[in-house]
Amino acid sequence: MDTTVIGSSEFIKVLSDTSVERFIPLTAPASLDLYNGYHHFLGDLSATSESIIISVDYRLAPENKLPIAYEDCYASLVWLRQQKPTEPWLQNADLSRVFLLGDSAGGNIAHHVAIRAIRDEECLVRIIGIIPIHPYFGSEKRTQLEMRHGSTDDVKSNDMFWRLSISEGLNQDYEGCNLEQMEVSESEWNWFPNVLVFVAGLDFLKERGEAYAEILNKKGVKEEKL
């Protein structure tokens, strides 16, 4: 969102039950934060980019399996549009220039929220870019890193996380995990926002992020990989 920074060093925390808490950290730039983590990073990002930042306290697995996280985060876009006319701190928010940023599972969620925004004809929030940071995807087919000697424990841990995140009877070829299984039309890809993909050089899931960038490239999405 291309906006001015809120003129006070406070955070607004909006929980998934719609309750709101306002608090002032000891030292932090002006920011909007709606989640109970990354406060100082988001504060720095808000001040540097001169933007309003909203981070969603979405419901977590295993109690709440996918696609609930997608639904909660998409609901935040609806909430943003509904609150803009009446909330003073949103008056300068430009809802025609919105970015989605997510780390790990958040990178996965950002992708799916972007697709939902494209499909919802009543969505009045325009997403022009998404920034997945070592996004968390998977598949039943193993990557080279996953098949490498010494990766057994990492593979077991990763498989456990996916079992906790998806419904019983599904596997890692579920469309929320394996994007190649997700049905997206050519016209939807044409409307997909620009993407800046970050992958960490020593990350066990590095190849998953690289594969995501390759899929975007094949679909004609403008992407940059760092």
Residues acting as catalytic residues: 104, 203
Q: What span, in angstroms and rounded, lies between the C-alpha atoms of 31 and 92? A: 14
Helix, strand, coil tally for the chain in percent (to 5): 35, 15, 50
Residue 6 β-bridge partners: none
Residue 88 tokens read as 């003073």
| DSSP state letter for 143 | P
Q: Answer for the pair 120, 145: CB distance below 8 angstroms, yes or no.
A: no
Q: Residue ranges of the alpha helices (H) in 84-225? A: 105-119, 144-147, 152-165, 186-190, 206-218
